Amino acid sequence: MSKTCKRRLYLASKSERRIEILRKLGFEFTVLEPRELEEPHGDFKHLVVSNALSKAWSVSDMVDYGCIVAADTVVVLDGWVLGKPKNYDDAKRMLKALSGKWHLVATGLAVVLIPERLQFTTIEETSVKFKTLTDREVWFYLSTGEPFDKAGAYAIQGYASLFVERIEGCFFNVVGLPVKALYELLKKAGIDMLDYVRLRTS
């Protein structure tokens, strides 16, 4: 294939939130479901980058000429990495631990170019402060079902927005895809994200 042809953009993700962010912005891309399992332990900066790269490379054999984007997000509280809760009790424990405290949300981004097999990575960090949660608020949030597939057991764009007092940094990072950081990382890889926007005419 000619190198002058625009690369196809791929998102290696199972996350509805990441897919929705890019779609709402009008980006043209193809979703590929990553096959690799995520590492459950380790230093959070290494962890999110390693997981993002693992997701990107796991779909690389499906791409002939393209740019693969992947991301991995964790919540870090006092050096303790919070992934997705295993069950109800785990989600409850996480929410009670976050209550009244600042925590860090870290997302590793990976961009892989095919067929060159070049990779580029970066990390985005955002600080978030929860209000002190009452038992009723914890019960309510758990009853919504929202925490169970989210890192740190909450979704800032959902009902958890009722409990977030302050945020310092990128809001989209807390949702799971820091678009400004992705834009800059793609530019570093020689990809202009603006070339993939389908502008609305009405």
- pLDDT tens readout for residues 85-134: 999 999 999 999 999 999 999 999 999 999 999 999 999 999 999 999 99
In a domain, 3, yes or no: no
**Would 111 be classed as within a structural domain?**
yes
Specify whether 195 is catalytic: no
Q: How confident is the model at residue 202 (pLDDT cuts 50, 70, 90)?
A: very low
Quick: pLDDT tens for 150-184: 889 999 999 999 999 999 999 999 999 999 999 99
Is residue 2's pLDDT more than 50?
no
Which is it for strands 102-114 and 66-77: parallel, antiparallel or unpaired? antiparallel
CA within 13 Å, CB half, 88: 7
- Say if 40 falls within a structural domain: yes
Q: List pLDDT tens digits, range 69-86.
A: 999 999 999 988 988 899
Percent of the chain topping pLDDT 90: 85
Residue 185 has pLDDT above 90, yes or no: yes
Domain limits for position 163? 8-196
Q: pLDDT digits over 132-150, tens only?
A: 999 999 999 999 999 998 8
Please tell me the predicted confidence (pLDDT) of residue 145: 94
Check 43, 64, 72, 149 and give the catalytic one.
72
Domain-located, residue 169: yes
Q: Which of 87, 82, 100 is nearest to 174 (CA)?
A: 82
- Token pair in block for residue 4: 């002058």
Question: What is residue 6's predicted lDDT score, i.e. its pLDDT?
Answer: 83
Question: Is residue 13 very low, low, confident or very high in pLDDT (cuts 50, 70, 90)?
Answer: very high
Please state, as a whole number, how many other Cβ atoms lie within 10 Å of the Cβ of residue 196: 19
In this structure, is residue 186 part of a structural domain?
yes
User: For residue 30, what pLDDT band results from cuts at 50, 70 and 90?
Assistant: very high
Q: Is the pLDDT of residue 37 over 70?
A: no
- Residue 11 and residue 30 in contact, taking contact as beta carbons nearer than 8 Å: yes
Statement: the pTM of the whole predicted model exceeds 0.75: yes
Number of domains the chain contains: 1
Per-position b or e across 68-86, b if 16+ CB within 10 A of its CB:
bbbbbbbbbbeeebbbbbe
The pair of three-digit structure tokens given for residue 201, joined into one six-digit string: 């005419």
> Per the domain annotation, does 162 fall within a domain?
yes
What pairing do the DSSP bridges indicate for beta strands 8-12 and 30-32? parallel
Whether residue 1 lies inside any domain: the answer is: no
pLDDT of residue 121: 98
Kindly state the tokens that stand for 199.
């502008």
Q: What is the pLDDT of residue 84?
A: 87
Say if strands 30-32 and 80-82 run parallel, antiparallel, or are unpaired: unpaired
Tell me the C-alpha to C-alpha distance, in Å, between residue 21 and each of 11, 29, 88, 175. 12, 12, 27, 9
pLDDT for 3 = 47
* Alpha-carbon gap, residue 156 to 159, rounded angstroms: 7
Assign residue 118 the CATH number of its domain. 3.90.950.10
**Residue 124: inside a domain:** yes
